[in-house]
């Protein structure tokens, strides 16, 4: 089960101790280590579909996919791979990675490629690999042996393992969902003992009903009991031991406050079981109501489960061992009180080329098997062979004539003598493996097969490997009915069938009782036994765990624990790299190579007759028939056709031969980086770390075939996972890796092509889980922040901080924003955790429905606040949600508490950050959140900014102000208006608190002191000279009417300097317009018309551009309220006055952050209505549909109401508020009116360079719009001092009237801008109440 963020966060430092040594779950074909789980890998079922179809269907028009499909794959023989490995030709091996390739198996590597030799498929052993028992009543029955006294048995009670998780692969073995119900309580011999809180309904019903009750799920994150529940069970054990007067265990308080407590002792399990049964009900009855409020103790019974796995115990090795095995099964458990028993039986299949045969004497066969027959039961012409000695051994083709036992098992009449055969290994043919699960005469259909089957290609072969399925193979499943019949023969009312064979009319797969059969096949897997051998007692072998990634990424680890882990990883890799460890394991003779088929079953013991509930019956009537079924001809035939026999020692060698290019790359990377890793204070390029992680994932796939380790977002784009999925062999696209340099032992990565997360603009990584689980979440947050910054240094996006001219300052602002996003996430986590805990406690205690509804409303407000684009802003809806979430819903005056520091500036906030980051100690101080991730990230961010400043030759004494200014600009972009703070200090003695509270918020919106001199003070003489030259050239361009200019740089404040311009600004470009391919042609033509026909001398053209520039300055608040119920006037003048007083609001529309497109789009939108010769104007004149044009612009906030708000159209009626029509609800202004407005705006602009723009926009659009531009803080206009005061007061009444309008929009949604750096990603904001 993947580890959740909350689980990792519960551990100090964010690290999680992952147990990679002792196996704690049954063996699985392709387990995913925690280091590679949960990163968006490929689906395993897609592997099977690609193998079946051998093509990629529905390829989207994506560049990397089109390029991949256009590159033809090449054939490479396995013999060539072996030769490269044997000669250690790393140069040619690395060259193989540059092209698509597929591997073919030479005949020399197959055991009997021509079929001319005698080849024998035979069973080479059976093994018990997993057992699980569950009791049928309250108590520890499953852990009890079938004898009252056993001096060799020991039960160890250990209540310190409550965090242990029930294996997800065994969830289906239980008749209930284990979520929140399981607690590991110790061990008995080789068995782990679990206590499950089983629903009473499960224990009270019969087995035929239990299958329908498996939907009772508890509210818990994992299978482990919650902390409170596990402590309750712990206290019950303490109560039992106290009642037994066991040693020095005492219960001072029977039902204490639920705090951590553990018991670990050896004890008399039988007495413990008796006390467990006798004391439970009374103990629950006396428990306080607080313990019983969630019904956990009342609705469930504690029932013991035992599980043993990995023992690989031999079964029926010889006839002499049968009686001993039967006795052991009888003693091991008391089946009378066992509800069900799950187990796995593994059988090995070998192939041998026989050079000489030896006949088995007929008397030996008859003594061992009894009477023998010519055919299986039910076969036409079946006869008993009376004279076996004279019965023909071979047919005309020299093949052995088969004979069968009375039950239908095949009997071997000859065998190769010792040393007279050559054995080999085998893999599954994955192209045929799905046929195992359908009848032989049925047409196999991969998509409709009844049993889900998952294929795992190995060693880059694509079509050879392992298999896992959620059921048994069809030929084996057909043999289960008779076993079920034999288990049910003594049931009342059942007529025994005289035919005692396994093979007759077996269509009825159920026992005579209604419901499920007593014995059920749950699942199966088939894999080469080498996989079992290399990790027999551990979860994963070393090539699966990303050890090299951990070693190279840990050099920046901080803290004693993290540094110690890094040193261990480094030492381990220095001693031997993972692929070298694998080489040691598979080198030498006698390597296991047989194919291992493992079936898992469940036996409903509770449905058996009382006299049959013992180990002897289980062994004789269940285990033995299941093992012998492998000798049935149908089973042998179906299995033989899907296996590919390989020559001796090919199986262990093929993994090393085919993966040699990958191990060469890893070896090269390690050799290049090791000298750096041995130096102090070193950091490795994150691009190199990630490419190493990619190759380690590829190596994992070669050994397991698990598609989930292949991260689609990164590995598809590098072609590595595409090559593996479609060809079987990995390749790396030349756009990412320079292959010419690689064969020269140099690793050169093209960082420009590195994929970025569209919602966060962070580079996509492969190493996240390895770093988090090894060094902690905080380490990874620091790493990814540094990666983002370093990547931006080489590939800084053009759209970020366009107002900042200095490239170094732009990069510094971007880096500061990256670090501040982590700080914002810390705040969101602080508020979310604190409020959620408070609400959970209140909800459990709250019986009043009204208050319960208020609690739910607080939770909804919390969710909206967390999902908001700028959660620390003073945007009204965002601030209201925060106050609702944080304040007690019972308070008459909900508010945020004041830390009594007054309103501070952003400089104060930034100064605190920089001061704390400079300190050597790690003790957190405000503004940093306790247990947050931001402190190490911001320390690294500041260090990178300073390094970049030094590289740009910023004077050393100016770096501090340079860094501060970058952070302040980033804060403004993120709209950080307030931050959580500590509680105000009491008058008493003691140090001030450093614990940040989610209820106390400090405002940082005070006016800043006069700004520090800009970048001229930071420049070197050479840079100053270059700046002067640039300034001179800019003056020349600015004076030329045809010279290029930018509306975003001029804004409205300096619009008077471009009144002479005859060209559109740089923002008016087709690159700034996104036109879907499905759009009608007239939309694209309209934008081209504006580019070709714009004339600044025309009044409407000038006014359209001026209004568009103002419109872009309002972003993101460019929308109007949807509720106009307050409008009670009907005259055009009163209606226009109302429109000019409307506030501008933000609806968090996608793409509403970059102002560049809005200047061009709004200009074209306005001119389309006025210019009848334009494509839009022509359609208006012809009364043709404009729906696509209107929908496109209204989605961006551009409506006819917007034209009226800027005074460029006249509203004739109230239809303007409800998708009005041009010429009907809204009409154009006269040319003379437009000319007068143009002249007035120009006069205002010339009248005052400082306040003229404010006066002009106030004249054109009203005071509300003018003040909105001022309050936006983007520098578009500067308000007159008197206007600032009067504007605030005059609009206060309007703001109060409109307070409900802001929160009652039925269509409020947002998606994070793909060009913005945000950690929340896309979201849909819920409807506001």
CB-based contact 668:2 (threshold 8 Å): no
The mean per-residue pLDDT over the stretch 1043-1064 comes to: 88
Diameter over CA atoms, the chain: 125
Contacts of residue 268, defined as CB under 8 A and 6 or more positions apart, other chains included, come to none
Q: How far apart are CA 273 and CA 955, in angstroms?
A: 77
Residue 564, pLDDT score: 93
The answer, yes or no, to whether residue 1014 has pLDDT greater than 60, is: no
CB-based contact 461:102 (threshold 8 Å): no
Q: How far apart are CA 307 and CA 194, in angstroms?
A: 8
Q: How far apart are CA 942 and CA 723, in angstroms?
A: 41
What's the predicted TM-score (pTM) here?
0.69
The answer, yes or no, to whether residue 22 has pLDDT greater than 60, is: no
The mean per-residue pLDDT over the stretch 1149-1155 comes to: 68
pLDDT digits (tens, 9 = 90+) for 868-883: 999 999 888 899 999 9
DSSP-derived pairing of the beta strands 996-1003 and 372-373: unpaired
The mean per-residue pLDDT over the stretch 423-452 comes to: 78
φ/ψ of residue 265, rounded to 5 = -150, 165
Residue 922, pLDDT score: 58
Q: Tell me if residue 1034 falls in helix, strand or coil.
A: helix
Q: SS3 helix, strand, coil % of the chain, rounded to 5? A: 45, 15, 40
Residue 515, pLDDT score: 56
CB-based contact 1199:1205 (threshold 8 Å): no
The mean per-residue pLDDT over the stretch 493-509 comes to: 40
The mean per-residue pLDDT over the stretch 383-396 comes to: 89
The mean per-residue pLDDT over the stretch 1205-1224 comes to: 89
pLDDT digits (tens, 9 = 90+) for 614-637: 999 999 999 999 998 998 888 998
Q: How far apart are CA 1125 and CA 27, in angstroms?
A: 68
**Of 333 and 536, the one with more pLDDT:** 333
CA dist 530 → 121, 398, 779, 1007 (Å): 18, 34, 37, 71
Rounded (10°) angle between helices 934-951 and 959-973:
120
Residue 206, pLDDT score: 58
The answer, yes or no, to whether residue 311 has pLDDT greater than 80, is: no
**CA of residue 1253 relative to chain centroid, distance:** 50
DSSP character at residue 294 = T
Residue 986, pLDDT score: 67
Q: Tell me if residue 1005 falls in helix, strand or coil.
A: coil
Q: Tell me if residue 405 falls in helix, strand or coil.
A: strand
Q: Which of 200-209, 235-244, 376-385 has the lowest mean pLDDT?
A: 200-209
The answer, yes or no, to whether residue 442 has pLDDT greater than 80, is: no
Residue-by-residue DSSP string for 647-678 = -TTHHHHHHHHHTHHHHHHHHHHHHHHHHHHT
The answer, yes or no, to whether residue 461 has pLDDT greater than 90, is: yes
Tally the C-alpha atoms within 13 A of residue 747's C-alpha that lie toward its C-beta.
Answer: 19
The answer, yes or no, to whether residue 55 has pLDDT greater than 60, is: no
| pLDDT confidence bin for 605, thresholds 50/70/90 | very high
What average pLDDT does the chain have? Answer: 81
Q: Which of 452-461, 493-502, 861-870 has the lowest mean pLDDT?
A: 493-502
Residue 1013, pLDDT score: 45
Residue 669, pLDDT score: 96
CB-based contact 979:898 (threshold 8 Å): no
The answer, yes or no, to whether residue 61 has pLDDT greater than 90, is: no
| pLDDT confidence bin for 27, thresholds 50/70/90 | low
CA dist 35 → 338, 545, 700, 989 (Å): 37, 6, 11, 48
Residue 190, pLDDT score: 75
Percent of the chain with pLDDT over 90: 38
Q: Which helix (H) or strand (E) holds 75?
A: strand 74-77
Residue 251, pLDDT score: 55
Q: Give 1259: exposed, middle or buried? Use CB within 10 Å, 0-12, 13-18, 19+.
A: middle
The mean per-residue pLDDT over the stretch 142-147 comes to: 80
Terminal-residue alpha carbon distance, the chain = 38
Q: Give 441: exposed, middle or buried? Use CB within 10 Å, 0-12, 13-18, 19+.
A: exposed
Residue 1326, pLDDT score: 31
The mean per-residue pLDDT over the stretch 461-478 comes to: 92
**CA of residue 1267 relative to chain centroid, distance:** 45
Q: Which of 16-20, 430-434, 668-672, 681-685 has the lowest mean pLDDT?
A: 16-20
The answer, yes or no, to whether residue 722 has pLDDT greater than 70, is: yes
| pLDDT confidence bin for 247, thresholds 50/70/90 | low
pLDDT digits (tens, 9 = 90+) for 1164-1210: 999 999 999 999 999 999 989 888 899 888 888 899 999 999 999 99
C-alpha closest to that of 834 among 886, 872, 873, 871: 886
The mean per-residue pLDDT over the stretch 783-790 comes to: 91
Residue 1031, pLDDT score: 55
Q: Which of 125-139, 715-729, 981-995 has the highest mean pLDDT?
A: 715-729
Residue 870, pLDDT score: 92
């Amino acid at each position: 089960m993947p580890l959740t963020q909350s689980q990792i966060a519960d551990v100090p430092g964010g690290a999680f101790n992952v147990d990679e040594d002792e196996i704690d779950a049954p063996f699985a074909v392709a387990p995913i280590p925690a280091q590679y789980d949960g990163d968006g890998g490929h689906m395993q079922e897609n592997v099977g579909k690609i193998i079946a179809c051998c093509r990629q269907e529905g390829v989207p028009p994506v560049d990397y996919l089109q390029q991949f499909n256009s590159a033809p794959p090449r054939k490479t023989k396995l013999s060539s791979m072996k030769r490269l490995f044997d000669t250690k030709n790393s140069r040619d091996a690395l060259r193989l990675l540059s092209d698509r390739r597929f591997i073919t198996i030479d005949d020399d590597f197959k055991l009997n490629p021509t079929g001319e030799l005698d080849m024998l498929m035979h069973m080479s052993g059976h093994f018990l690999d997993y057992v699980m028992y569950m009791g049928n009543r309250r108590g520890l029955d499953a852990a009890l042996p079938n004898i009252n006294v056993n001096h060799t048995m020991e039960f160890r009670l250990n209540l310190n393992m409550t965090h242990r998780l029930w294996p997800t692969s065994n969830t289906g073995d239980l008749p209930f969902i284990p979520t929140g119900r399981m607690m590991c309580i110790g061990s008995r011999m080789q068995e782990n003992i679990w206590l499950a809180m089983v629903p009473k309904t499960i224990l009270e019903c019969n087995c035929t009903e239990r299958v329908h009750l498996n939907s009772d799920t508890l509210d818990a994150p994992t299978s482990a009991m919650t902390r409170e529940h596990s402590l309750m069970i712990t206290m019950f054990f303490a109560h039992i031991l106290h009642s037994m007067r066991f040693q020095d265990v005492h219960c001072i308080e029977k039902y204490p406050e639920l705090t951590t407590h553990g018991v670990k002792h050896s004890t008399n399990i039988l007495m413990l079981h008796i006390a467990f049964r006798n004391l439970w009900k009374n103990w629950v009855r006396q428990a306080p109501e607080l313990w019983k409020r969630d019904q956990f103790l009342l609705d469930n019974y504690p029932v013991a489960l035992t599980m043993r796995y990995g023992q690989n115990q031999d079964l029926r090795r010889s006839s002499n061992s049968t009686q001993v095995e039967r006795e052991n099964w009888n003693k091991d458990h008391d089946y009378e009180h066992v509800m069900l028993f799950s187990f796995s039986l593994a059988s090995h299949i070998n192939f041998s080329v026989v050079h000489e045969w030896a006949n088995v004497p007929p008397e030996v066969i008859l003594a061992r098997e009894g009477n023998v027959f010519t055919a299986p039961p039910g076969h036409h012409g079946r006869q008993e062979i009376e004279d076996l000695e004279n019965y023909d051994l071979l047919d005309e083709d020299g093949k052995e004539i088969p004979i069968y036992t009375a039950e239908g098992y095949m009997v071997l009449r000859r065998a190769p003598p010792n040393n007279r055969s050559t054995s080999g290994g085998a893999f599954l043919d994955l192209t045929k493996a799905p046929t195992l699960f359908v009848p032989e005469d049925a047409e196999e259909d991969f998509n409709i097969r009844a049993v889900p089957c998952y294929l795992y290609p190995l060693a880059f072969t694509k079509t050879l490997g392992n298999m896992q399925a959620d059921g048994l193979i069809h030929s084996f499943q057909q043999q289960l009915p008779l076993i079920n019949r034999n288990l049910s023969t003594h049931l009342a009312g059942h007529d025994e069938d005289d035919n005692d064979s396994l093979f007759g009319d077996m269509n009825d797969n159920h026992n005579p009782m209604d419901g499920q059969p007593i014995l059920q096949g749950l699942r199966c897997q088939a894999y080469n036994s080498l996989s079992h051998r290399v990790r027999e007692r551990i979860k994963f072998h070393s090539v699966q765990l990303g050890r090299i990634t951990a070693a190279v990424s840990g050099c920046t680890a901080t803290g004693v624990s993290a540094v110690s882990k890094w040193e261990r990883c480094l030492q381990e890799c220095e001693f031997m790299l993972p692929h070298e460890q694998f080489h040691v394991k598979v080198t030498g003779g006698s390597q296991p190579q047989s194919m291992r088929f493992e079936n898992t079953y469940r036996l409903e013991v509770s449905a058996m007759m009382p006299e049959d509930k013992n180990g002897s019956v289980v062994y004789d009537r269940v285990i033995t028939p299941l093992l012998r079924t492998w000798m049935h001809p149908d089973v042998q035939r179906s299995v033989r056709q899907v296996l590919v026999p390989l020559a001796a020692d090919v199986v262990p060698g093929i993994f090393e031969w085919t993966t040699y290019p990958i191990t060469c790359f890893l070896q090269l990377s390690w050799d290049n980086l090791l000298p750096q890793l041995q130096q102090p204070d070193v950091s490795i390029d994150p691009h190199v770390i990630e490419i190493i992680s990619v190759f380690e994932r590829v190596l994992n796939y070669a050994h397991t075939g698990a598609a989930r380790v292949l991260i689609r977002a990164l590995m598809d784009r590098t072609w590595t996972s595409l090559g593996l999925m479609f060809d079987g062999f990995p390749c790396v696209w030349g756009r990412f890796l320079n292959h010419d340099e690689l064969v020269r032992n140099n690793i050169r990565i093209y960082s420009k092509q590195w994929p970025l997360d569209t919602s966060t603009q962070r580079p996509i990584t492969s190493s996240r889980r390895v770093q988090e689980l090894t060094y902690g979440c905080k380490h990874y947050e620091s790493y990814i922040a540094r990666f983002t910054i370093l990547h931006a240094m080489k590939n800084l996006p053009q759209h970020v901080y366009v107002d900042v001219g200095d490239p170094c300052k732009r990069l510094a602002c971007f880096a500061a924003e990256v670090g501040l996003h982590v700080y914002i996430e810390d705040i969101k986590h602080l508020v979310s955790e604190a409020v959620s805990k408070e609400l959970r406690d209140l909800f459990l205690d709250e019986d009043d429905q009204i208050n319960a509804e208020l609690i739910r409303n607080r939770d909804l407000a919390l969710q909206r606040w967390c999902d908001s684009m700028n959660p620390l802003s003073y945007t009204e809806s965002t601030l209201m949600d925060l106050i609702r979430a944080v304040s007690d819903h019972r308070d008459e005056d909900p508010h945020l508490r004041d830390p009594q520091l007054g309103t501070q500036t952003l400089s104060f906030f930034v100064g605190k950050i920089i001061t704390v980051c400079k300190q050597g100690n790690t003790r957190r101080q405000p503004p940093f959140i306790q247990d947050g991730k931001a402190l190490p990230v911001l320390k690294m961010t500041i260090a990178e900014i300073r390094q970049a400043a030094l590289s740009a030759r910023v004077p050393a004494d100016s770096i501090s102000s340079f860094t501060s200014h970058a952070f302040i600009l980033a804060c403004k972009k993120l709209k950080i208006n307030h931050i959580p703070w500590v509680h105000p200090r009491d008058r008493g003695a003691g140090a001030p608190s450093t614990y940040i509270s989610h209820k106390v918020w400090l405002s940082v919106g005070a006016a800043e002191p006069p700004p520090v001199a800009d970048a001229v003070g930071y420049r070197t003489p050479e840079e100053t000279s270059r700046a002067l030259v640039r300034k001179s050239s800019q003056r020349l361009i600015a004076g030329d009417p045809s010279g290029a200019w930018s509306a975003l740089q001029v804004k409205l404040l300096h619009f008077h300097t471009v009144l002479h311009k005859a060209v559109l600004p740089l923002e008016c470009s087709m690159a700034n317009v996104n036109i879907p391919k499905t759009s009608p042609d007239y939309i694209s033509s309209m934008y081209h018309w504006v580019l070709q026909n714009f004339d600044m001398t025309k009044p409407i053209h000038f006014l359209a551009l001026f209004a568009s520039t103002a419109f872009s300055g309002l972003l993101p608040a460019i929308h109007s309220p949807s509720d106009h119920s307050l409008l009670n006037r009907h005259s055009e003048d009163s209606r226009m006055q109302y429109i000019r007083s409307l506030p501008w609001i933000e609806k968090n529309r996608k793409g509403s952050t970059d102002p560049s497109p809005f200047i061009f789009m709004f200009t074209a939108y306005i001119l389309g209505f006025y210019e009848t010769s334009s494509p839009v104007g022509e359609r208006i004149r012809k009364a043709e549909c404009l729906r696509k044009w209107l929908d496109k612009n209204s989605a961006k906030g551009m409506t006819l109401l917007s034209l009226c708000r800027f005074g460029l159209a006249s509203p004739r009626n109230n239809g303007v508020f409800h998708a009005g029509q041009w010429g009907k609800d809204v009409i154009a202004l006269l040319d003379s009116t437009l000319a007068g407005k143009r002249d007035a705006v120009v006069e205002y602009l010339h009248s005052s360079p400082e306040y003229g723009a404010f006066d002009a926009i106030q004249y054109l659009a009203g005071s509300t719009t003018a003040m909105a531009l001022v309050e936006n803080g983007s520098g578009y206009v500067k308000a007159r001092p008197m206007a600032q005061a009067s504007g605030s007061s005059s609009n206060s009444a309007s703001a109060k009237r409109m307070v409900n309008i802001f929160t009652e929009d039925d269509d409020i949604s947002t998606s994070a801008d793909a060009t913005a750096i945000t950690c929340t990603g896309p979201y849909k904001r819920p409807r506001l109440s």
